[in-house]
Structure 1
């Protein structure tokens, strides 16, 4: 199993809070790697919310190729953070040339693009850089999106945090997602490390997705270029989220009906029985087979947690107005928000979607037995 921790805060906070939670949950991960997502950024990024930020790992040759590629497209560097690593190597952490966090000025001919067109172009550029890197093994790109930073690396999370200097003030954010890996593969591929990000939607998962093949085949048949990669069977959760909310026009309450539809006896008495029966038939290939606990973010900076029907992976939500945590274990919450009212902690069940909205004031529970907010 892996361990997950996510934080949503009214004020920007350090990613070290989430890394601290991973450390106290260390018995549930083996320190083989960490994935970290920062959104709704503070610090110097506060004033450049529309600037796309490229996050990844590059060799010296890779950065030269990247610079030529981005200049040809009309992108100019607006701001960058250099993660300078110590000269002395740390056992278990690979030696890299450059960890890149760079915000770009948009090309002038992008000024009149719609949000949808811009999303497609940014996604296509990320995919092209990834393709270039896989060809020569000199680039790994994890995200290219406004107000978003993603860091992934092999090694123990706490050691990585010190090695990369993740306590620096420029890296504070209001949304933080962190995963401590347990290596279930013989070789570690950083593209298989959670969280997974697609066009503003993010998920990370503790579990296994035994229905991966039919889900992957359905998604790749949709003609959407960003539905690709799949070094991990969990990456499909992010793509199903995007498909459900963007392509199908559902709300977050509908996502749960796609991945874990109601059983027929419950479906028959649901207020939206006709619609949900049709959804279940047409999206049958997207039904998951766990056990899985999924934590995710939406473009409006809502944070959510869902469980599948098996409910065999732990997950708890708790906090106080202005600061909420989503954790694989209660000890993770205790480490980060010890002064919360613990009697109000929520462990979502298989029909629940637990959500903290962008106002960060309370936890809302959507149950699958309730009426949906359907698109008009």
Structure 2
């Protein structure tokens, strides 16, 4: 198994808080990799929230080809944080080149585009960079989106935190997803490392999605840019969240009704039975098989956790509304390490019907059950 840890805070905090929590939970993961999703950025990027930020790893030649590729599409670099480690990498970690986060001034046509058109442009540009990098081996592009940085690498999370100097102020963020384990179901590939991302939505998963193939095929048949390139069976959880909220226009509380719908008997007396029956029928190919615990973050900064019906992967949510910091953790010990000064009686461990939600205001853990009336719209 791997271990997951996420923080949501009113003020930017260091990613090392999440890395340290992963280290406390080290007995539950193999220390083979780390992945980070950062949004609600502080530092220099916090002053340019509308500018798309490219996150990736590049060789010297790759940086040159990146400049040519982006300039050819009308993107002009605005601010960059480039980090090339000077020390030797930890054992098992390749020496890659430059870890980059580059904010861009978008093309002139950007001002006349709708939000959907802008999103499509950024997705196409990122996928193009990924394809170029897979062809030449000198570029990896993890995300291209405003107010977003993603970092992925092979190696022990705590060692990676030191090696990549992840405590730097430029990387402080209000929302952090961190996963401690490289993909071990397939060949080692950084694109298989959680968290995953599409158009402002990111998720990470502890578990195994045995329904991966039919879900992948259904998603790829939707004609949605970005539903491609699956290197991990868990990436579909991100795309299902995108499909449910962005394409179907549902509230995140409906996400669980898509991936783990109620049984016919459970729906019989539900207030929203007619809608839920229709949703289950139309999205039946998106039903997951577990065990899985999923933690995710939405474009507005809402963070959530769900379990599947097998409930065989741990998860707990808690925090301190006075300090404005909450955490989603695979284990209580990770939560204790990051937020020791909380009211522990208010910790919540979601069961198989539950969704735990913390809004961007970081005031409380909202507990939702699939038995509750459903606010359908976002």
* TM-score over 0.5 for the pair: yes
Per the TM alignment, residue 183 of structure 1 is displaced from its structure 2 partner at its CA by 4.6
1:367 is matched with which residue? 369
Pairwise CA RMSD of aligned residues?
1.1
Per the TM alignment, residue 91 of structure 1 is displaced from its structure 2 partner at its CA by 1.5
Q: Alignment partner for residue 334 of structure 2, among 332, 335, 360?
A: 332
Supply the distance in 2 between the matched residues of 1:325 and 1:288 (Cα, whole angstroms): 25
- Go from structure 1 to structure 2 and tell me whether the alpha carbon gap of 1:184 and 1:89 turns closer, same or farther (over 3 Å shift): closer
Per the TM alignment, residue 86 of structure 1 is displaced from its structure 2 partner at its CA by 2.0
Conserved 8 A contact 1:29-1:182: no
Conserved 8 A contact 1:30-1:183: no
1:357 is matched with which residue? 359
Supply the distance in 2 between the matched residues of 1:151 and 1:193 (Cα, whole angstroms): 10
**Do structure 1's residue 137 and structure 2's residue 163 form an aligned pair?**
no
**Do structure 1's residue 37 and structure 2's residue 37 form an aligned pair?**
yes
Per the TM alignment, residue 186 of structure 1 is displaced from its structure 2 partner at its CA by 5.9
**Do structure 1's residue 110 and structure 2's residue 110 form an aligned pair?**
yes
**Do structure 1's residue 177 and structure 2's residue 181 form an aligned pair?**
no
Supply the distance in 1 between the matched residues of 2:182 and 2:108 (Cα, whole angstroms): 44
Structure 2 gaps, min length 5: none
Per the TM alignment, residue 292 of structure 1 is displaced from its structure 2 partner at its CA by 0.2
Supply the distance in 1 between the matched residues of 2:88 and 2:308 (Cα, whole angstroms): 44
1:203 is matched with which residue? 203
Supply the distance in 1 between the matched residues of 2:275 and 2:186 (Cα, whole angstroms): 44
Please identify runs of 4+ aligned residues in structure 1 that moved more than 4 A.
none
Deviations 1:122-181 (Å, cap 9, x if unpaired)? 011000000111111111110000000000000001111111111111111000010000
2:277 is matched with which residue? 277
Supply the distance in 2 between the matched residues of 1:180 and 1:247 (Cα, whole angstroms): 31
Supply the distance in 1 between the matched residues of 2:377 and 2:345 (Cα, whole angstroms): 36
Deviations 1:67-100 (Å, cap 9, x if unpaired)? 1011111111111112120243421211011111
Deviations 1:202-254 (Å, cap 9, x if unpaired)? 10000000000110010000011210011000000000000001111110111
TM-score by length of 2: 0.98
- Go from structure 1 to structure 2 and tell me whether the alpha carbon gap of 1:265 and 1:49 turns closer, same or farther (over 3 Å shift): same
2:165 is matched with which residue? 165
Q: How many residues align?
A: 376
1:267 is matched with which residue? 267
- Go from structure 1 to structure 2 and tell me whether the alpha carbon gap of 1:201 and 1:351 turns closer, same or farther (over 3 Å shift): same
TM-score by length of 1: 0.98
Supply the distance in 1 between the matched residues of 2:249 and 2:44 (Cα, whole angstroms): 34
Supply the distance in 2 between the matched residues of 1:61 and 1:170 (Cα, whole angstroms): 25
2:55 is matched with which residue? 55
Per the TM alignment, residue 185 of structure 1 is displaced from its structure 2 partner at its CA by 3.5
Supply the distance in 1 between the matched residues of 2:88 and 2:220 (Cα, whole angstroms): 43
